[in-house]
Amino acid sequence: MRKPLVVANWKMNPSTLAKAKKLFNSIKEGIRKVRNVEIVICPPFLYLPQLVEFLYRCRKSQLNLGAQDCFWKEKGAFTGEISPLMLKNIGCQYVIIGHSERRRHFNETDEMINKKIKAALKAKLKPIFCVGETGEEREREETSKILKSQIENGLNKISKKEIKNIVIAYEPVWAIGTGKPCDPDEAMRMSLLIRKIIAQIYSRSISEALPTLYGGSVDSKNAAKYIKEARMNGLLVGGASLSSKEFIKILKAIS
């Protein structure tokens, strides 16, 4: 069985570098007893250089760093943006792309997300490509249609070779930060649907090899269900990754 991948999305937290260092170090300590899980911490951009230093000082192969977003150009006059090349250069392995909070608050479109995925792949970063329907779309029974268009457009002109470096995270918007996680049965149906869409675009073997993550109100009580029952290959954790104790519990529950 594939080693589960657990990604911590710290979002715009914590509020100081001192707190970020503390959280990172206690996670680093806590994972001593965790086996067979790959962990990726995605802090705000600003904390990355310091956390990379910590990582290198005590290199743990199961722990990696990622960013929460990137721009689609390598360099140039793009005020406020960070390029995938910069992220790779500083020591990131992964980058979250297309998170629903970016789609909603910053009007990111499938087309922009597609450009970001291509740029990340070019810089040899692994994109964690987020998809998921809103509560209204789910009520209107449009989930399949939404996932299909997000995936087809987000992966437009991405080759069979490149797709092997992508992780897809299913994050239903209605489950994010609400304390109302998706039922594992429903998450399994979504995981199968994502694989079906990928098989239609690429091939069955590619869809079977594709790592899928579940995200949305994950905690230590429900974490194992998404791996064992919903057959996801890992988790994308928001709020619960801001407490080292709870995050380690999640890791232990699935290791």
Other CB atoms within a 10 A radius of the CB of residue 120 amount to 31
DSSP letter at 10?
-
Q: Figure out which of the listed residues 120, 215, 227, 246 binds ligand 13P, where binding follows CB under 6 A.
A: 215
Smaller CB separation from ligand 13P, 202 or 211: 211
Does 8 help bind ligand 13P (rule: CB under 6 A)? Answer: no
Catalytic residues: 99, 171
3-state secondary structure of 13: coil
For 19, list phi and psi in degrees, rounded to 5. -70, -35
CA 28 centroid distance within chain: 19
Smaller CB separation from ligand 13P, 85 or 127: 127
Q: Figure out which of the listed residues 171, 213, 226, 251 binds ligand 13P, where binding follows CB under 6 A.
A: 171
Smaller CB separation from ligand 13P, 113 or 237: 237
Identify which of 175, 191, 180, 178 has the alpha carbon closest to the alpha carbon of residue 226.
Answer: 191
Give CA–CA dist 193/115, Å, rounded. Answer: 24
Q: Figure out which of the listed residues 70, 216, 222, 230 binds ligand 13P, where binding follows CB under 6 A.
A: 216
Smaller CB separation from ligand 13P, 160 or 180: 180
Give CA–CA dist 4/40, Å, rounded. Answer: 11
Buried b (16+ CB within 10 A) or exposed e, 171-193: bbbbbbeeeebbebeebbebbeb
Give CA–CA dist 210/192, Å, rounded. Answer: 11
**Could you tell me the two tokens for 244?**
């080292």
Q: Segment 83-112, which members bind ligand 13P (CB under 6 A)?
A: 99
Q: How far is the CB of 236 from ligand 13P (least distance, A)?
A: 5
DSSP letter at 32?
G
Does 237 help bind ligand 13P (rule: CB under 6 A)? Answer: yes
Q: Figure out which of the listed residues 238, 244, 246, 250 binds ligand 13P, where binding follows CB under 6 A.
A: 238
DSSP letter at 108?
-
Does 44 help bind ligand 13P (rule: CB under 6 A)? Answer: no
Smaller CB separation from ligand 13P, 66 or 84: 66
| Angle separating helix axes 143-154 and 184-201, nearest 10 degrees | 40
The residue with its CB nearest to ligand 13P is 238
Q: Segment 61-80, which members bind ligand 13P (CB under 6 A)?
A: none
Q: Figure out which of the listed residues 3, 162, 239, 243 binds ligand 13P, where binding follows CB under 6 A.
A: 239
Q: Figure out which of the listed residues 23, 120, 176, 190 binds ligand 13P, where binding follows CB under 6 A.
A: 176
Residues that bind ligand 13P (CB under 6 A): 9, 99, 171, 176-177, 215-218, 236-240
